[in-house]
Amino acid sequence: MNKLNPSIKNHLLVGLLFAVWGFLFMWMIKPFSDDTTGLIFWIRSSVGFNVIAFFTYALIAVVQKAVYVKLKRWSIGLEISILLLFYILHTVGTFALYKSPLITGGYTFLEWNTEVMMKAAIVNLTILAIARSYLIKLLPTKENILTIKGDNKLDILKIKQSELICVSNAQNYVEVFYIQSEALHSKLLRTSLKNLKEEFDFLLQVHRSHLINPSHFKSWKNSSTICLTELELPVAKTFKKELLPC
């Protein structure tokens, strides 16, 4: 995963849900095989261990945001490191509670790690990885802004990629057609179709005089004409094959 949702609020919710799930999971399967059993033990351990899980993940949320803000990027390596850090802190924290007077568990740290935490980690880290991947979908999508420039300094047009309909040749200029506030607009810029085709590779050439944004393709009017948003354009035979997948 090379993206991260840095929102501490979102990750606190994940930590809370993970702790609730952990409480129910422990209560149902009772993962300990030593002699430390009984109702009081299970109440203290189930609540205590998952309170630690929540606060450990809350700490992880703060740490990862600080790293993300400093590096301004995320990577699979960083993701694995964060999950490993959670595992280490969670293991140490829960073992400290397990050996405390509240529980007085019988496992050594090595036994605690191998008999309990490593087995639980297969499920726990998988759940956390899935939850963290889901948080990526909550990130607001940033609309791609196009800056279309002409040869003159004042020849400039900034629009969203989704607003651009097509670009047509107009002698020494090009005419950019775009939609804003549900109305069709156009602007002349002193440049060439070739320059725009090279700069914006998502544009499709349908005629020697026309480039289109494929997302605005609506239908074929006939074998040589297409309907776009608010416009109709001719299609040359040499470019027809490129347009057919649309």
Assess whether pLDDT exceeds 80 at residue 244.
no
Structure tokens at 232: 């109709």
Q: Looking at the DSSP assignment, which residues form a beta bridge with residue 149?
A: 156
Residue 141 near residue 167 (C-beta atoms within 8 A): no
Q: Which residues contact 197 (CB under 8 A, 6 or more apart)?
A: 203, 205, 211
pLDDT at position 37: 59
Global pTM? 0.58
Residue 189 near residue 155 (C-beta atoms within 8 A): yes
HSE-CB for 72 with a 13 A CA cutoff: 0
Element containing residue 226 per DSSP (H, E)? strand 225-228
Instruction: Pick the range with the lowest mean pLDDT from 69-73, 94-98, 102-106, 158-162.
Output: 102-106
pLDDT in tens, 104-151: 888 899 999 998 899 888 888 999 999 999 998 887 666 788 999 999
Given pLDDT bands bounded at 50, 70 and 90, which one contains residue 234?
very high
pLDDT in tens, 203-231: 999 999 999 999 999 999 998 999 999 99
Given pLDDT bands bounded at 50, 70 and 90, which one contains residue 74?
very high
Residue 174 near residue 189 (C-beta atoms within 8 A): yes
Higher pLDDT, 138 or 14: 14
Assess whether pLDDT exceeds 60 at residue 198.
yes
Structure tokens at 86: 């959670």
Residue 200's SS3 state is coil
Average pLDDT over the chain, rounded to an integer: 89
Structure tokens at 186: 């156009």
Instruction: Pick the range with the lowest mean pLDDT from 66-80, 127-141, 173-187.
Output: 127-141
In the 8-state DSSP scheme, what is residue 140? Answer: P
How far apart CA 80 and CA 149 sit, in angstroms, is: 43
Higher pLDDT, 161 or 24: 161
Best CATH choice for the domain 145-243 from the list 3.40.140.10, 2.40.50.1020, 3.30.420.10, 3.20.20.70: 2.40.50.1020
Report which of 165, 180, 142 is spatially closest to residue 211, judged by C-alpha positions. Answer: 165
> What ranges do the domains of the chain cover?
8-136, 145-243
pLDDT at position 1: 63
pLDDT at position 83: 95
Burial of 105-125, coded b for 16+ CB within 10 Å and e otherwise, reads: bebeeeebbebbbeebbeebe
Residue 168 near residue 174 (C-beta atoms within 8 A): yes
